[in-house]
Each structure stands twice: as structure tokens, then as C-alpha cells.
Structure 1
Amino acid sequence: MPRPSVADERTRQIIDATIATIGAHGITGASLDRIAEQAGMSRGHVRHFVGNRDDLLRESARRFYFEGTDGTSILPSGTDTIGAAMAYLFGPEFTEPGSDNAVVFGFVEAARTNPAIAELLTAAYAGTETLIADLLAAEYPAASRSACTSTAYGVVAIALHNVFLSDIETSTAGTDAARDAAERLIGTLAG
């Protein structure tokens, strides 16, 4: 296997530092100086390897949302049943409070003024809804496509509501209630 180039290694290092900096300081606190410090590089090296801050934020968002996925949704690669999707969306990897939530909030904030990040986030969540709708259609073949699509929207909305609240309401009861609500919504497709 060929060794990654120094440029690829440095870019990955800078993107890791960007995500960590957003997690610790929010999007407005993720200055190039802080990112460079986190990466152990000069600001000039950061700019050399990744360009300006907007380019860096866009590439960091792309990696944060799509690494380990099929590139169209936030669900892990290989998610092939609605049960697997639910296990992820209401499982500890997705629901635990922490810096990942701060990173999500940061990218949502950045999306308000950066159309490229807005497009990326919109695609990530729309792709997730589409994949869940497809999984629901496979599991509930008698359900209409529109019912599967609106149910998928509801499942994603419930999951995101839950994860955003998990930073301020840390009991697992909230996640249990959210999963129960999503499962009840899915249950309407059997009907």
C-alpha cells in the first residue's frame, strides 16, 4: 500500500485540528491561529496546505459528516436495515453529549453564511432521510413511498432533537423516550 504524501498527512492533521478546535471553542472561536496551534503548525502552513478558512471549514465539514459513511448520509457504511439505522441514531455513538455536538452546532452556524457548508449539511441530512425511507420501504413494502418518506423525516427529526438536547439534558430517559417515539412513528407503517 502506498504511503500517503506529506501534503495528505498534513491536510488530515489540519482537518483533525479544525474539528477539535470547533469542538472546544465553537465555530467563531475556530480561528486559523487556534487551528494552527492545535495542529502544531504555523498559520502559514495551515493556509499552504488547505487554503483559506472557508475552504478549511468546508473540507472539515465534509470529513466530519461523511467519513465512515457511504458519502450520502450520516449513517455508517453498511447500514442496511431500519434496525441498524435506529441502533445508530439512538445509540451512544450518536447520542452521547460532547464535543461532536459542538462541532455539529458549529457547522450549522457556519452554514447560515457559507452556502457550500449549507449545501453539504442539507445533502447529509436529506441523504439520511432518503436512506431511511428506502430501508422503511424494504421493511414495509405495503406502505406508500410518501408514507415512508414522511416517516423517515420524522425519525431524523426526532433523532436530531434528541441529540441536540443531550448536551443540556443528560439522562438516558430522553433518548429512550425519543427512540420510543420514533419506533411508534415507524409502527404506523405496518398499519
Structure 2
Amino acid sequence: MGRPSKKEERTEEILNAFYRCVARFGLEGSTLERIAEESGLKRSLVRHFVGNREELTGLLVDRVLQQSDEQWSAFMAMLPAQNGSHFLLDGLFSDQHSDPEFVLVIESLIFAAGRDDDMRKRMQVWMQSFTNDVAVILQKDYPDATTESIAAVSYGLISLYFNLDSLAPLGMNQQYRQPARTAAEYLLQTLESASSGKGA
């Protein structure tokens, strides 16, 4: 395999810089000037290697969703045959798997999707896939729980996950990590209660 071209190297540097900027300033606040400063390149070079702002945003969305899919697929491949729900909580709420920068970027893209039909559709597919996978994990552990209960708990777990690392700019995500995990366990207990109630 040959060495990456200069364009590939510069594009990677610019996308890394854009990613960091979006995590700090949001999508709208990530101006070409800030991206250029973060990447150590002139603004004209940023435009030369990645095109205009719309093209750059499209590249970022491609990259973020691809990386997310790869990481989630790897996580799902490690899912144990039993007690997958507790493995899920470890993945969502442990220090080891925490990635506040990723959550902040995803939330910025979700917010921006309200003004971009194509991005909205792509983010909807991503979010629905994530939610569906969580529901499948829960349904396997709690087969007697209703579809409505599974959907409610799935949404609750995902909401806790996003909310937790969205507090990173306040320096408060570590403070609330254990309470978030405990709240997630309480949600699982509602499925246990529902299952035991059906079996009674």
C-alpha cells in the first residue's frame, strides 16, 4: 500500500480540527477561521483541500457516522450471551468507554439537522438504528417485558447517556457518572418487575 497523498493527509488534519472545533463551539461556531487555526493551515488551504463549508460538513458527517458504526459494531460483537443489558450499561456509563467529545459532536449534528433535510434523514437513521439495537439487547434479557416498556427504557438509557457527557463543558460529567449509572439500573429494574409480574 502506498503512502497517503498530501491531499489525504491534509484532509485528515482538517477533519480532525473541524471535529475538535465542533465539540467546543458547535457546528455553527466552527468557522473556517477557527478550523484553519486549529489545523495550523491557512484558510485558503482549508478550502483548497476540502472545498466549501457545505462539503466540509458532509465529510464530517460521513466520518462521524462511519466511526460510530464501526465502534458500535465492535461493541455489539463483544456482547455476552447472557446479561447483555448490564454489559450495555458498562459500555454507556463507564469511564473506559466515555467519549464526551463524540457526544458533543453528535449533539451538534442533531441540532444542525433541523435546518438540513439530508442531514436530518441520515441522523434519524443513525439514531433509530442505535435505539433498535438497545431494544434488542433489552428484549433478549427481559423477554416478558412489553414492547412499550422496552421502548421506554431504551429511550431512557440513551437519554441518560447523551445527557451525561453533554455536561463535559461544565466539568460535571464525572460528578454525575455514577448517579447516571444508578438511574440506568433503576430503569432495568422496571423491566425485571414487569417480567416477574407477568410470570406470577
Which of the five TM-score ranges fits, normalised by the shorter chain? 0.7 to 0.9
Comparing 177-186 with 33-42, greater Cα deviation is found at 33-42
- TM-score (norm. length: structure 1): 0.78
Q: Matches of residues 26-37 of structure 1 in structure 2 within 5 Å? A: 26-37=26-37
What does 1:1-191 align with in structure 2 at a 5 Å threshold? 1-67=1-67, 69-70=69-70, 75=72, 77-79=74-76, 80=79, 81-92=84-95, 95=98, 99-100=101-102, 102-168=104-170, 170=172, 172-190=174-192, 191=195
Superposition deviation, residue 41 in structure 1? 2.9
Q: Distance in 2 between matches of 1:85 and 1:179?
A: 11
**For residues 81-109 of structure 1, what are the alpha-carbon distances to aligned partners after superposition, in whole Å with 9 as ceiling and x for unaligned?**
33332112112256576x55543443344
Which residue type is aligned with residue 90 of structure 2? Answer: A
Distance 1:4 1:115 in 2: 33
Partner amino acid for 1:154? G
Structure 2: runs of 5 or more not aligned: 196-200
CA distance, structure 2, for counterparts of residue 94 and residue 120 of structure 1: 24
Distance 1:167 1:45, change over 3 A: closer
Task: Spell out, residue by residue over 1:109-139, the C-alpha distance to the aligned partner (whole angstroms, 9 max, x if none).
Answer: 4223233333333333222111111111222
In 2, Cα distance between equivalents of 1:40 and 1:10: 10
* Structure 1: gaps of 5 or more residues: none
Tell me the amino acid that sits aligned with residue 8 of structure 1: E
Larger helix share, 1 or 2: 2
Residue of structure 1 in register with 2:198 after alignment: none
CA deviations 1:141-180 (Å, max 9, x no partner) are 3334443233211211122222223543626452222211
Q: d(CA) in 2 for partners of 1:14 and 1:90?
A: 30
Sequence identity, in percent? 27
Change (3 A) 1:5 1:140: farther
Q: What amino acid maps onto 2:49 in structure 1?
A: F
Query: Which of structures 1 and 2 has the bigger CA Rg?
Result: 2
Question: Structure 1 94/124 Cα, relative in aligned 2: closer, same or farther at 3 Å?
Answer: farther
In 1, distance between residues paired with 2:122 and 2:173? 31
Q: 1:34 to 1:61 in 2, by over 3 A?
A: same
TM-score (norm 2): 0.75
Q: State the superposition RMSD in angstroms.
A: 2.8
- Compared CA separation, residues 94 and 164, structure 1 to 2 (3 A): farther
Is this contact kept in 2: 1:101–1:167, CA < 8 A? Answer: no
Count matched residues.
Answer: 187
Task: Indicate if the aligned counterparts of 1:26 and 1:103 stay in contact, CA closer than 8 A.
Answer: yes
